[in-house]
Structure 1
């Protein structure tokens, strides 16, 4: 055990080296001792090398310890070699430092995994990438919005989403913009916001992508409801002159009755024509205003949905029965596809049927001039577990500029339409916290999509 003690071995090796050197020079290079002196010289050289190797061997563990830190390899463990209490304590400290680094790394990895999980599960799309365009992170929400399974470089979006790829690289830091992305046959508005970051001396960009379709629709409908209330007030005020005109006619008639108390009343032709014209004016304006106000009120007073679970396919069957005669006369092929068959939706059935009737009737009108007419109802669950209902036809389609305004109150593409149906339908769907969108192509058809 004594020979394993570092201090003892150093003293012993130095002492032996000193004795050897003393004897080497004590022989004084005499010719009769040449062989002995040569042997002593070799012994001195060997002892010197052994001493150097022994000392360097003690530093190997220090180098090994430093390498574990340099290369983040904290699996190493330093055990005592019987080199003395000082080295035992040194190796113990080495092991404590390694355990500390190991704990810090584990905590850092756990924290990174936690934030990675948070980023992957939030509803806002997140993309981080280098200024060169190399993507470092893209979460699930961003993948769903962009509709890509993975992304390694920003410029790879040039084919699917060229505007997004351009804005990700060119949009000034700290600014936001609204762009539209294709999701299947639909274009949805998204808000894009970017900031610049510096991590370990390298420049990065962090971009957030958020679907703002719901927010835009809520603001749009709120603005229209406010407008409707104001217009209704103003329209009702405009009825006052009509009421006054009616009162004047009634007063004239009363005057004639009082002036001619007999059973017969004589009126001048000119007076009769004036009364008739006044009454016709009152009738026409009253009917027009009543119809106008009724349409406005139907937009502003959508009842609160009384939601309950019911099977979508059963509703489809009842709608098919309701339109059976009309579809037969128009020679329209009516198709139903519900996946799975027992798919249920939580909604107000009466209000939803009202929306479906309006969409089906619009589809029937769109198919009027088509030779082969097909109207289809589809229902399924999307990747976010939302119930999707689609009403599609192979009719004439809707122009792109009309699609942007088709849900606005009183906007219509039909000569006899009021422009209320689709606006009211969208408001009903919004009251269910759902969305109603349209995708169409001229000459190929139209599809209205409801999501709940």
Structure 2
């Protein structure tokens, strides 16, 4: 009997260790997903038999790893008890972090029970901050649990915002100085030529150059106004078949005249999208114009426009060409206002297109096809 009791006690201890191991392992996986590690999109494999409980030293190492996760992590038990699992979680609830620790715990419990992951706005001693909450429900030893991971977003967003302002100021300064410097120099020269009766031609040339630079600066300001004063989209159902037919009628003849072709493919007949018809058509025309410029030196320029449903039921519109593609290293800069990899380009086409797509609830990204060229993907 004593041996049986010892065996039962040992089995219970092993079961508890296994439960702690599984909970910790699941938390590490959740934290990895929240930190941006690659997600698996394929169907999950069939469950495998549970491995035996890890040795005590492995549990100790795992506990240390959990303590030092760069995220605030908790486990919510079936009884509603929220237990911190990392130093970041304990520091967040300690004095000097969030202003109301009890309110944060209540909010986390509410979100976990409702399954509502996503962004949170927390009032901290440093001010209002944005955090991202990830959740993972579990069933361990017959008890329902929820793992929670909270990641700070404010520092990353602030850095991106500051970088965007720096890039915008750099572009504005460059464009304005390119026009103002020759205007100032030529104006001074024109004043000196006024006292020379024989300098009529030089004076006329100086004034003409000043007028051209002033006109260029005026166009720049008008382009900037276009980017900053886009009208709000008027959303309605858009028949993509009819939209692609209009685009094909408008642009296919010019591609054929250049010795190439424009291909339009509606993978699923009857596709409709809730969008602003005029703004969606303008966005696609901007990308087609971009493809025309990219393929101007290509012997047989080709354009492909495709509309299809991707996994998850999301709509994808792809505009692809067989030009030289975006130079390596410029994939992100091409979306900056007034940045152009093409000599003489204004650099507002892709920026304007991304704003139009974003205003309709979509995303625009650049892709590098295996076949070469460039592709721009609109996802809704």
On the 8 A contact 2:182/2:210 being kept in 1, the answer is no
On the 8 A contact 2:291/2:320 being kept in 1, the answer is yes
1:45-94 deviation digits (Å, cap 9, x = unpaired): xxxxxxxxxxxxxxxxxxxxxx9xx99xxxxxxxxxxxxxxxxxxxxxxx
Change in CA separation of 1:273 and 1:355 when aligned onto 2, cut-off 3 Å: same
On the 8 A contact 1:221/1:427 being kept in 2, the answer is no
Aligned mates of 1:209, 1:444 — CA distance in 2: 40
Deviation at 1:379, TM superposition (A): 1.2
Change in CA separation of 1:313 and 1:170 when aligned onto 2, cut-off 3 Å: farther
Aligned mates of 1:356, 1:225 — CA distance in 2: 29
Q: Which is further off, 426-435 or 293-302?
A: 293-302
Match of 2:40 among 139, 143, 146: 146
Match of 2:105 in 1: none
Match of 1:339 in 2: 267
Match of 1:283 in 2: 211
Match of 1:269 among 183, 191, 198: 198
Aligned mates of 1:374, 1:331 — CA distance in 2: 9
- 5+ residue gaps, structure 2, are 1-7, 13-21, 49-64, 73-131
Higher relative contact order at CA 8 Å, sep ≥6: structure 1 or structure 2? 2
Match of 1:174 in 2: 70
Match of 2:79 in 1: none
Q: Matched residue of 1:323: which SS?
A: helix
TM-score by length of 2: 0.55
Aligned mates of 1:193, 1:136 — CA distance in 2: 7
Change in CA separation of 1:353 and 1:384 when aligned onto 2, cut-off 3 Å: same
- Structure showing the higher helix proportion among its residues: 1
Query: What is the count of residue pairs matched by the alignment?
Result: 271
- 5+ residue gaps, structure 1, are 1-66, 72-127, 154-168, 177-190, 257-266
On the 8 A contact 1:379/1:387 being kept in 2, the answer is yes
TM-score by length of 1: 0.47
Matches within 5 A, 1:31-430: 130=24, 145-150=39-44, 172-175=68-71, 223=164, 227=168, 231=172, 268-270=197-199, 272-273=200-201, 275-370=203-298, 373-430=301-358
On the 8 A contact 1:378/1:389 being kept in 2, the answer is yes
1:139-186 deviation digits (Å, cap 9, x = unpaired): 9xx999432322679xxxxxxxxxxxxxxx89941349xxxxxxxxxx
1:234-261 deviation digits (Å, cap 9, x = unpaired): 959x979969x98x989x99xx9xxxxx
Deviation at 1:280, TM superposition (A): 2.3
Aligned mates of 1:443, 1:359 — CA distance in 2: 19
Aligned mates of 1:286, 1:402 — CA distance in 2: 30
1:107-135 deviation digits (Å, cap 9, x = unpaired): xxxxxxxxxxxxxxxxxxxxx86459996
Aligned mates of 1:317, 1:269 — CA distance in 2: 62
Match of 1:179 in 2: none
1:304-341 deviation digits (Å, cap 9, x = unpaired): 11111120111111111111221111222322222321
Cα RMSD of the aligned pairs, angstroms, is 5.2
On the 8 A contact 2:30/2:134 being kept in 1, the answer is no
Aligned mates of 1:386, 1:319 — CA distance in 2: 22
On the 8 A contact 1:173/1:194 being kept in 2, the answer is no
Aligned mates of 2:322, 2:288 — CA distance in 1: 13
Q: Matched residue of 2:368: which SS?
A: strand
Match of 2:53 in 1: none
Deviation at 1:276, TM superposition (A): 2.1
Deviation at 1:360, TM superposition (A): 1.2
Give the structure with higher Rg (CA).
1
Change in CA separation of 1:144 and 1:227 when aligned onto 2, cut-off 3 Å: closer
On the 8 A contact 1:312/1:343 being kept in 2, the answer is yes
Q: Matched residue of 2:335: which SS?
A: coil
